[in-house]
Structure 1
């Protein structure tokens, strides 16, 4: 993960977002079970980004020339990561809004 964090811009983005989310979540009165789901969600997003990087590097290793199937494979990997990230953000934004509306 250390190597990926140094070389992959998307992993750096996800790590920065995870750090920001954790810091912001400290100010929201979440019960313990929501904290565990939050950390699990962050772990899933980071794991899928690592898998995405591994699959993209494998595709690059297997073909030196441009191939439409290689482009499709890399596109599918990237779309999966974006899909999971967007769903996670949507869920946690609604959870924060609900928590803040009851807190304020």
Structure 2
């Protein structure tokens, strides 16, 4: 790992990065932290209930750092995956009819 790239190079060069995450989960538990790019720390959630809580329950508490928001906005635009708060709610309401049981 390095301060500038964290574990990113290790994961990119791995043949199967998912197996690395699984190994870390067995070693460190269902929730753990890894070094990210430029010294940022990334929290990894492997527990389905924790992931559901993160994405559905507390959308205003768990937010990305402003530098990450800016980077992803430049790379991806204002997509639902990176939106937060009221923007996310507005986009989700617009997409919900498309992915309802009757539409599928």
Tell me the TM-score normalized by structure 1: 0.22
Greater per-residue strand proportion = 2
Say which structure, 1 or 2, has more relative contact order (CA 8 Å, 6+ apart). Answer: 1
Q: Which structure features the higher share of helix residues?
A: 1
TM (norm. structure 2) is 0.22
